Amino acid sequence: MQQLVERHAPLVKRIAYHLMARLPASVQVDDLIQSGMIGLMEAAKNFDGSKGASFETFAGIRIRGAMLDEMRRGDWTPRSVHRNARLIADTIAELEALLGRDVKDIEVAEKLDISIDEYHHMLNDVSSGRIIGIDDLGVSEDVISTIVDRESDELYDNQASDAFNSALAKTISSLPEREALVLSLYYNEELNLKEIGAVLDVSESRVSQIHSQALVRVKARMQAWL
């Protein structure tokens, strides 16, 4: 166990610095590394090589999960940011139900009775004020557990999780083209905001806004599940 931990300690730093590119400046990399080392030790303790996965793959999941759990427990986000995120999601859901189509930034801003610049500022706050990722859309076990009755049998759990993930994938594919592309580049290709901005020929700030709106729109469309 100790050898596994020592051999894979650099993996913790690599994941920590990768996450740092997506987190506010107030987050300290040492805090991520500390929580990640705990995740690595748990991975070394629980790893079962007969399952087929490599230890690095197994440990990487545990390390990242430990870091995100620590960030969630120490949530630094002002309540106003959480409130605005819910307000934007509710407004998008209301407008899309009314209009039957994707709504534009300016339409959301008008419904909120604020300027487009104020709306974009709210999106930037939502993006920079907390960890926003696919995990926050409900893919992780902690969110799925709010959907599935944990007293039910394992078969039902798996079916419910599969149905949720299928609905989530369908929702993401229905996003406006630019929003879907930003999510794909960010999560699948693991480009940072600056790199995505170069691809789309827009500013890093604008990419952040598109990214935030995409996730808020998905949350709005997934409200029946969440």
CATH (domain of 189) = 1.20.140
- Residues 137, 99 share a domain: yes
pLDDT at 142: 34
Is the torsion defined by CA of 207, 208, 210, 215 positive or negative? positive
pLDDT at 110: 95
**Cβ density class 194-225: b for 16+ within 10 Å, e for less:** eebbeeeeeeeebbbbbbbbbbbbbbbbbeeb
pLDDT at 51: 67
- Residues 174, 85 share a domain: yes
- Residues 105, 212 share a domain: yes
pLDDT at 145: 31
Q: Which residues contact 103 (CB under 8 A, 6 or more apart)?
A: 92, 95, 96
C-alpha closest to that of 80 among 121, 138, 132: 121
- Residues 168, 127 share a domain: yes
Report mean pLDDT in 10-residue bins for the chain, 226 residues. 84 85 69 89 83 79 82 64 84 92 93 93 72 43 32 43 72 87 82 87 88 86 70
- Residues 103, 118 share a domain: yes
- Residues 215, 108 share a domain: yes
> pTM of the full predicted structure?
0.53
pLDDT at 152: 37
pLDDT at 2: 80
- Residues 200, 171 share a domain: yes
- Count of domains in the chain? 2
pLDDT at 221: 83
Q: With respect to residue 226, please indicate whether it lies within any of the assigned structural domains.
A: no
pLDDT at 12: 92
- Residues 101, 169 share a domain: yes
- Residues 199, 133 share a domain: yes
- Residues 93, 197 share a domain: yes
The CA distance from 216 to 96, in Å, is 13
pLDDT at 156: 39
The CA distance from 189 to 94, in Å, is 32
Among 73, 105, 125, give the residue marking a domain's end.
73
Q: With respect to residue 17, please indicate whether it lies within any of the assigned structural domains.
A: yes
Question: What is the extent of the structural domain holding 59?
Answer: 2-73
Among 44, 73, 102, give the residue marking a domain's end.
73
